[in-house]
């Protein structure tokens, strides 16, 4: 049970529907990931929470699910292909934990398609690519080739995943730093 205090739903407009993000390219980063069971209980999926880092939707969220553990082989192959795209977009070709993909900026190409389970409703479908649009040869090199400062990224030790913490926010009116450079790796 969770105490929420006095809440009067009659004073607040209810959420009526989900509106997908418009078609376009978004700079994002994964900030959270978690394995959850499917509703049928016959598998699990990786749920990822993204932050949009730039543009009109900066600060908003996007969620994606990868059905990596499912009895349907086609579903698993699609999820593995999407995970491969995420790994390539972040420059992390071999991972043991989804947390290794956290706080790595990437480009998300967003499409809008009809939902199969709810006729008349639309949904977002994402494709993940490196910020410069090509598969990265080396994590820092992709930013230098895109005309942006190279980010200091090193492969974490195999047995330990480094913690991440947001850097202090820039002063109002400050320029120079890209929104995705706000998060720095801590030791």
* pLDDT tens figures, 128-139: 999 985 544 333
Asked if 66 contacts 49 with a C-beta cutoff of 8 angstroms, the reply is no
Q: What pLDDT score does 95 carry?
A: 95
Q: What pLDDT score does 1 carry?
A: 66
Q: Is residue 7 part of a domain?
A: no
In the chain, which residues have pLDDT < 70?
Answer: 1, 16-17, 133-187
Q: What pLDDT score does 27 carry?
A: 97
Nearest to 35 by CA among 73, 83, 104, 93: 83
User: What are the phi and psi torsion angles at 119 (to 5°)?
Assistant: -55, 140
Q: Is residue 170 part of a domain?
A: no
User: What are the phi and psi torsion angles at 35 (to 5°)?
Assistant: -85, 130
The range of the structural domain enclosing residue 68 comes to 19-134
pTM: 0.64
Q: Is residue 108 part of a domain?
A: yes
Q: What pLDDT score does 169 carry?
A: 44
Q: Is residue 174 part of a domain?
A: no
| Residue linked to tokens 């995705």 | 180
Q: Is residue 122 part of a domain?
A: yes
Q: What pLDDT score does 13 carry?
A: 76
Q: Is residue 77 part of a domain?
A: yes
Q: What pLDDT score does 7 carry?
A: 83
Number of domains within the chain: 1
CATH code, domain with 38: 2.40.50
Q: What pLDDT score does 152 carry?
A: 34
Q: Is residue 80 part of a domain?
A: yes
């Amino acid at each position: 049970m969770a105490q929420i205090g006095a809440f009067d739903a009659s004073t607040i407009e209810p959420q009526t529907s989900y509106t997908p993000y418009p078609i376009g390219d978004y700079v994002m980063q994964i900030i959270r990931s978690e394995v959850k069971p499917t509703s049928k209980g016959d598998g699990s999926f990786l749920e990822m929470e993204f932050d949009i880092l730039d543009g009109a939707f900066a600060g908003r969220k996007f969620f994606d699910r990868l059905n990596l553990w499912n009895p349907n082989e086609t579903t698993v192959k699609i999820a593995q292909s999407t995970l491969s795209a995420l790994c390539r977009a972040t420059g992390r070709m071999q991972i043991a934990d989804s947390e290794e993909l956290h706080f790595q900026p990437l480009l998300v190409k967003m499409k809008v398609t009809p939902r199969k389970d709810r006729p008349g409703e639309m949904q977002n479908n994402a494709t993940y690519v490196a910020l410069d649009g090509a598969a990265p040869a080396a994590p820092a090199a992709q930013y230098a080739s895109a005309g942006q400062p190279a980010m200091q990224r090193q492969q974490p030790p195999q047995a330990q995943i480094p913690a991440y913490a947001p850097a202090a926010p820039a002063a109002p009116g400050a320029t120079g730093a890209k929104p995705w450079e706000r998060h720095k790796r801590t030791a």
